[in-house]
Structure 1
Amino acid sequence: MDFNSLISFVSSNKVSILSGLALAVTTGALLKGKGKKQHTFEPGVVYLYDFPKGGFPVIHISPFVLKVSLFLRLNNIPFKVINNFDMGPRNKKPWIRLDEDVVSDSDIIIQYLIKKLNIKGFEINDPDQAAEAHMLRRFIDDAAVWSLVYSRWVDPMNCSTNIEAVFASVPFPMSVLVKRFSLSGTSKQLYSVGISRYERDEIYERAAKDIDALARRLGDKPYLLGNEIALVDVSLFSVLAQFAFEIIQSPAGAALKTHRNLVDYVQRIGEAHFKSNELDFSRSYPSPRQ
């Protein structure tokens, strides 16, 4: 290619070239920036790595980050949240740092903390109840959560507003690129697990049935297994809170709010362990009198 041809090519493709350069710079910043901002890690303090702060009325927009946050609060474990794009050793959020240890995945983090800090009170002595709690937790974390992901990222009725809120604190032009690649990756993930192969109405019909089943299982008990909060409640609250504190109410959120026991459950746990600016009960949430 001669010089004149090169000039012509650049002129004709300047938008693509500039976008590519911006992507390269941004990607490099994201990847290399992990170690640039130095944190002073205090001994005995858990550092919880979360996504950048979003514009939702819930402090953590990931149910799995919220799950670890609730567990830390329940056990009065000192912790600090670091909001960034660093996805940790397993390339996922949440992950934590405690002294010299780095641990990923919400379930593994919680089990690590129970062992490391000798936390008591979450043991289930009855084998049948323990098996049920395990299955419920797996259902909540690995099945019921996908309709939430669909609602946030793919649902044509509200995803654009939600995606803007997810990246509310990310500056332009980085936000444009991060949105594009996050949406692409999440869409592929939803297709791989199968949920986005269904019609919108079918997805929310399944979600409503999941919520109905959870409401029936909870019944009039304060917690799933009785009078004391269990690890399965940490999972359940963290998913239900995402449906309760929506910017635009989804059919799944509407289904949740038809169950007074689930509404009370979320509100009771939320008010006991979070501040008003962490779970905003004034937005997208019914009052106890409704």
Structure 2
Amino acid sequence: MITLHQYPGCWELPSLSPFCIKVETYLKMTGIPYKVVVENDPRRGPKGKMPVLKDGDKIIPDSGFILEYLKNKFGNTLDAHLTAEQQAMAIAVRRMIEENLYFVILYSRWIDPVGKKFINDAFKQFFPRLLSPLILAIIRRNLKKQAHGQGIGRHTREEIYSIGKQDIHAIATLLGSNHYFFGDKPTSIDATVYAFLSVIIYTPIDNPLREAVCNNQRLMEYVARMK
């Protein structure tokens, strides 16, 4: 059986990572049997992060490559009906979410003073009590470096949330009145969209990004439908 190694869950989230939620959502959508192994230490992954999929002697890191592997092995049943234009749009939307919106989420959790203390209190349960402050400080330092290198960390708080709200508006506009991203049937891009929106909604930190999602009725209905 396939084994999904992912970060632990908290609040109403099966995992603290949207990338892990994305893979598990895809597995549920396709009905592929799997089991979950919870990992607190990203160093257990070949690329120093989770999720990681294990299938026999095969080890596949990175959510994008995991979905590609699953589609090749079990068939691309969710996306078979999509046009070339829709497939291209799905790639563009996924890039926007995973390479831009993700860093706004990262900022809201680990760097924004509003989220910083909350995350410390919530995440310390996953580490040994005496080492927890040190581990969280190292995680925060590394994530701040990532955000600065990507570019989002160079902006002001107001500018960062403005960028995030633009992404949320784009997602809502593209979704429109559809039940799912490309109509009445869910496709693999819905696993990504749902994962990131659910992380924003169910992480109980009040900020402009969460407000933008929670105040959008269509997005809230979409998340409830996917859940």
Quick check: TM above 0.5? yes
Tell me, which stretches of 5 or more residues in structure 2 are unaligned? none
Partners of 2:134 and 2:183 lie apart in 1 by 47
Partners of 2:4 and 2:124 lie apart in 1 by 19
Partners of 2:152 and 2:67 lie apart in 1 by 28
Which residue pairs with 1:74 in the alignment?
Answer: 29
SS of residue matched to 1:157: helix
SS of residue matched to 1:82: strand
**1:49 and 2:9 correspond:** no
Evaluate the alpha carbon distance shift between residue 189 and residue 260 of structure 1 in structure 2; reply closer, same or farther with a 3 A threshold. same
Q: How big is the shift at 1:166?
A: 2.7
Which residue pairs with 1:260 in the alignment?
Answer: 217
Q: How big is the shift at 1:267?
A: 0.9
> Where in structure 2 are the equivalents of 1:273-284 lying within 5 Å?
none
Deviates more, 1:165-174 or 1:210-219: 165-174
SS of residue matched to 2:50: coil
Q: How big is the shift at 1:54?
A: 4.8
Which residue pairs with 1:64 in the alignment?
Answer: 19
Q: How big is the shift at 1:114?
A: 1.4
What are the superposed Cα offsets for residues 54-95 of structure 1, whole Å, 9 maximum, x if unpaired? Answer: 543312110000000101111222222212214411112111
Tell me, which stretches of 5 or more residues in structure 1 are unaligned? 1-44, 271-290
Partners of 1:229 and 1:166 lie apart in 2 by 32
What are the superposed Cα offsets for residues 11-60 of structure 1, whole Å, 9 maximum, x if unpaired? Answer: xxxxxxxxxxxxxxxxxxxxxxxxxxxxxxxxxx2211112x35433121
Q: Do 1:208 and 1:252's aligned partners in 2 also have CA atoms closer than 8 Å?
A: yes
Which amino acid letter does the alignment assign opposite residue 32 of structure 2? I
Partners of 2:75 and 2:164 lie apart in 1 by 37
Equivalent residue for 1:146, pick from 103, 126, 133: 103
Q: How big is the shift at 1:236?
A: 0.5
Q: Do 1:61 and 1:166's aligned partners in 2 also have CA atoms closer than 8 Å?
A: no
Evaluate the alpha carbon distance shift between residue 119 and residue 128 of structure 1 in structure 2; reply closer, same or farther with a 3 A threshold. closer
Which residue pairs with 1:186 in the alignment?
Answer: 143
Q: How big is the shift at 1:177?
A: 2.3
Q: How big is the shift at 1:121?
A: 3.1
Which residue pairs with 1:120 in the alignment?
Answer: 77
Which residue pairs with 1:226 in the alignment?
Answer: 183
Name the structure where helix makes up a greater proportion of residues.
Answer: 2
Partners of 2:200 and 2:219 lie apart in 1 by 11
Following TM superposition, the consecutive aligned residue runs of length 4 or more in structure 1 with deviations greater than 4 angstroms are: none
Rg larger in structure: 1
Q: How big is the shift at 1:119?
A: 4.6
Name the TM-score, length of structure 1 as normaliser: 0.74
Q: What number of residue pairs does the alignment pair up?
A: 225
Q: How big is the shift at 1:133?
A: 1.6
Which residue pairs with 1:283 in the alignment?
Answer: none
| CA root-mean-square deviation | 1.5
Q: How big is the shift at 1:124?
A: 4.5
Identity of aligned residues (%): 28
Which residue pairs with 2:48 in the alignment?
Answer: 91
Partners of 2:87 and 2:81 lie apart in 1 by 6
